[in-house]
Amino acid sequence: MSKTAFITGITGQDGSYLAEFLLAKNYQVIGLVSPKNDIGLLNIEAIKGKLILEEGDLLDEQSLKRIIYRHHPSEIYNLGGITFVPFAWEQPELTFKVNALGPLKILTLMNKLCPKARFFQATSAKIFGDSQTAPQNESTPVKPFGPYGVSKVCAHFLVQNFRDHFNLFACSGIMYNHESERRGLQFVTRKITSTAVKIKLGKTKELLLGNINTKQDWGYAPDYVEAMWLMLQQKKPDDYVIATGKLHSVKEVCEIAFSYLDLDWKNYVKYQTELLRKEEAEKFYGDAAKARKVLGWQSKTSFKQMIVKMVNNDLKLIKGENL
């Protein structure tokens, strides 16, 4: 008998890759699509016919109740939420409601309707804020800055509390930055690969960036969704850091993307002070030793391979605009 998984945020980067991953394992996959926060169905276009899509919203408890009651999922993956940090400063209340109250509603309903189900919460590494220790692991003290980080800390602690109090199988994946061909254009990696392709094709002349020396722990999204699934296959629920443990700079993204297109990035990148972020952690990379040991997980795709995949995909997409 096949398992049933319910994914919030199924049309996003992680949700669409997870849906493909689970379909390959013969799951029945239910996806939440929100008319209020519609990002389109492009990411799931190829698999749409294999999914059951249910209209609802993380803040609409009745819609969540209807879906969980109707499908009685064995696994629930909460990947929906506000993920772009600058937007969280523009809409702090909405960010907190979606990122913290959303998982609270799901956990409450799960406890009432399907307490034997298994729950995954996408927790961000931003819960560590400007950590004074590096690398960060599951024991690193949380010190969030900004509405986004605070909202994710709240969700993280809710998972732990529901796990301890109700004995639910609930896990948090403390996810470091992960990119892919499906990353939103507002994120710096995709902004670079997309603009580099546009420059190569003569569609634009420059790329505006903030601090190109900023470094991040960047992994590949399809590798990371496998870790989510592995967490829910264990005997005991727990929380795990999911990261590559390696730092790469924005400058390196530029070097790889532009050189792949036979361009010199220095001729096209311009600095824009408005794009500088006020808070940037210096040594922000994760230690995924626990995930390697317990889950048998590790990041498979190198940083360079990931950026090249993104450039190639943007070449197809942007050339396709001419058709």
Residue 216, beta-bridge partner list:
248
Other beta carbons less than 10 A from residue 70's beta carbon: 11
Please give the chain's pLDDT, 323 residues, in tens: 789 999 999 999 999 999 999 999 999 999 999 887 667 789 999 999 999 999 999 999 999 999 999 999 999 999 998 877 777 788 999 999 999 999 999 999 999 999 999 999 999 999 999 888 999 999 999 999 899 999 999 999 999 999 999 999 999 999 999 999 999 998 999 999 999 999 999 999 999 999 999 999 999 999 999 999 999 999 999 999 999 999 999 999 999 999 999 999 999 999 876 655 555 556 899 999 999 999 999 999 999 999 999 999 999 999 886 53
How many whole angstroms separate alpha carbon 197 and alpha carbon 137? Answer: 36
CATH superfamily placement of domain 184-217+246-281+301-320: UDP-galactose 4-epimerase, domain 1 (3.90.25.10)
HSE-CB at 193 with a 13 A cutoff on CA atoms is 28
118 phi and psi angles, rounded to 5 deg:
-115, 135
Which CATH homologous superfamily contains domain 4-178+221-242? NAD(P)-binding Rossmann-like Domain (3.40.50.720)
pTM: 0.94
- Structure-block tokens of residue 316: 């197809």
User: For the chain, which residues make up each domain, given as ranges?
Assistant: 4-178+221-242, 184-217+246-281+301-320
Instruction: Give the chain's largest Cα–Cα span.
Output: 59
Q: Please give the backbone phi and psi of residue 234, each rounded to the nearest 5 degrees, phi first.
A: -80, 165
